[in-house]
Each structure stands twice: as structure tokens, then as C-alpha cells.
């Protein structure tokens, strides 16, 4: 790992964004991205972030305090009995706490160990839908069912009923936002996409995160082999430049679980 190279990139980014505050745009880029994927991402990011920044969508979090060198790692699509444990091993090694947005339907007999371990080791176990449905294709009743089934299953396994939710694909519209808000949950998106879901090169993923990171970023990663292979590079380099990792509830001053 070229720590000096990463650190110089990160120092430039820190200086560039040091004086900004408010709601970030959503970043994440790589020369390895397919043109069609880049165009799709740019459109989705603009369509999603604009109503958040304008205040049209309420109770949606994209990032934390942009004046502090605090960031939050978040992992989607857990649990499994392979990569989730590898991620947890790396986090434990570096004493980093993270936020896991989990899918209810995969919390079966084979994967409950990973769910419980996440909770037992001080990470957040949060709601990422029951079967990774695209919420913009669902009606209100279906959205509520997805939320309740998953949160209830998490509560059964960990004792905690989550109040923080991330929609699959980041897919939202006014109905989705209003329904989730009415349920008492808060939508947590992200401000930095690691692109581990499309890039297969761990070095490219690490470079993308490190070169685009800003104070208060919520970083999107997944429980896949690319995330596992890039995670230690990301943590070590960001630590070396003075960033502190935390969970999204502590970063945002929110209550993660029903009291």
C-alpha cells in the first residue's frame, strides 16, 4: 500500500473542503467506471440530493458535521457467514465501530451468528429492508411491512428495534420518504460511495474513498470481497491523516434504537 500517496491525496482533499458546511453532494468516482454506469450514477445523485438540499425531502441524512474530522463507515447487504465476519475482524483489529444496514430475509439460521456478533461488538445493526426491494415500486402498505418485518427480526436477534433505515439502491420518492417518516424511522443515505459494488479492484476502491473523503462523510460500503480487501487500506490511511471513525447515530446525534 502506498500510504504516502494516499496521504498526500487526502491532505489535498481535507484542505479543499475544510471550510464547507451543510448537506454534501454524493461523491465517488473512478476511471474504471463504465460510461453508462457513470451517467446513471450522476443522474441518480442529482435527482436524489437536490430535493434533500432544497428541503423538499424531510428527515433524510446524507452526512454529518462538515467541520469535524469524523467519518462513519456503513456496510449494506449483511449478513452472511463469510464476508461479514471478515469485515468484523478488520474493524476489531483497528478498534473501529461501524453501522451495518441488514436485510431481514437473510437473517436465517445460517447467518444469525453474524447479526449477533455485530451487535455484541458494539456496531449498529440497522434496517435495509426485508428482501432488498426497490421501494419506489412499492405501495405504502408494502413499505411498512418491509420496515416492520426487518426491524422485528433484528430485535429478536439483538434485543434492539432499529429506527434508522437505508432504502435499497438509495431509491426514494415523496411517497417513500413520507411513509418512512410516518413510521418513526429516519432515512440514512451516504455522501461518499466507495463503488465497491461495481469496482472489482480493491486498490481502486480505496483510492476512490481516500481521494474523495470529506469531514463528516458517511461512507457506503458493502459486505463483499472487494470491501474486505480494501477496508484495511481505507482505515489505516484515514487514521494516519487524523480522521476518527464513529457510528452514524453518534455522528448525527440520533437515537439508533427504540427505547
- What are 75's strand-pairing partners? 100, 221
Is residue 222 part of the annotated active site? The answer reads yes
Residue from 77, 123, 217, 222 carrying the catalytic annotation: 222
Cα end-to-end span (Å), the chain: 43
Q: Which of 208, 211, 163 shows the shortest CA–CA distance to 183?
A: 163
Residue from 76, 77, 196, 217 carrying the catalytic annotation: 76
Query: What is d(CA 169, CA 186) in angstroms, rounded to the nearest whole number?
Result: 16
Q: From the CB of residue 179, how many other CB atoms can be counted at a distance below 10 Å? A: 19
Query: What is d(CA 68, CA 18) in angstroms, rounded to the nearest whole number?
Result: 9
Query: What is d(CA 216, CA 29) in angstroms, rounded to the nearest whole number?
Result: 18
Is residue 76 part of the annotated active site? The answer reads yes
Please, are residues 212 and 205 in contact by the beta-carbon 8 Å criterion? Answer: no
Q: What H or E segment, with its residue span, contains residue 29?
A: none
* CB crowding 4-20: b at 16 or more within 10 Å, else e: eebeebbeebbeebeee
Q: Is the peptide bond before 79 cis (omega within 30 degrees of 0)?
A: yes
Catalytically active residues, by annotation: 76, 222
Amino acid at each position: 500500500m502506498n500510504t504516502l500517496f494516499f496521504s498526500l491525496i487526502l491532505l489535498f482533499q481535507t484542505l479543499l473542503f475544510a471550510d464547507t458546511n451543510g448537506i454534501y453532494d454524493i461523491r465517488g468516482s473512478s476511471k474504471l467506471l463504465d460510461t453508462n454506469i457513470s451517467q446513471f450514477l450522476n443522474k441518480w445523485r442529482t435527482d436524489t440530493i437536490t430535493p434533500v438540499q432544497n428541503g423538499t425531502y424531510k428527515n433524510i441524512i446524507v452526512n454529518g458535521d462538515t467541520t469535524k474530522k469524523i467519518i462513519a463507515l456503513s456496510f449494506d447487504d449483511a449478513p452472511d457467514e463469510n464476508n461479514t465476519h471478515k469485515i468484523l475482524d478488520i474493524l476489531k483489529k483497528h478498534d473501529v465501530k461501524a453501522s451495518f444496514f441488514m436485510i431481514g430475509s437473510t437473517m436465517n439460521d445460517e447467518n444469525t451468528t453474524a447479526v449477533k456478533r455485530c451487535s455484541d461488538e458494539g456496531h449498529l445493526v440497522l434496517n435495509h429492508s426485508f428482501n432488498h426491494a426497490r421501494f419506489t415500486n412499492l405501495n405504502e402498505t408494502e413499505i411498512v411491512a418491509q420496515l416492520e418485518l426487518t426491524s422485528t427480526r433484528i430485535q429478536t436477534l439483538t434485543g434492539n428495534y432499529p429506527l434508522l433505515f437505508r432504502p435499497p439502491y438509495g431509491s426514494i420518492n415523496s411517497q417513500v420518504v413520507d411513509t418512512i417518516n410516518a413510521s418513526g424511522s429516519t432515512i440514512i443515505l451516504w455522501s461518499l460511495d466507495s463503488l465497491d459494488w461495481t469496482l472489482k479492484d480493491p486498490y481502486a476502491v480505496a483510492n476512490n474513498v481516500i481521494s474523495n473523503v470529506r469531514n463528516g462523510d458517511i461512507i457506503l460500503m458493502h459486505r463483499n470481497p472487494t470491501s474486505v480487501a480494501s477496508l484495511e487500506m481505507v482505515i489505516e490511511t484515514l487514521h494516519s491523516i487524523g480522521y476518527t471513525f464513529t457510528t452514524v447515530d453518534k455522528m448525527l446525534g440520533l437515537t439508533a434504537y427504540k427505547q
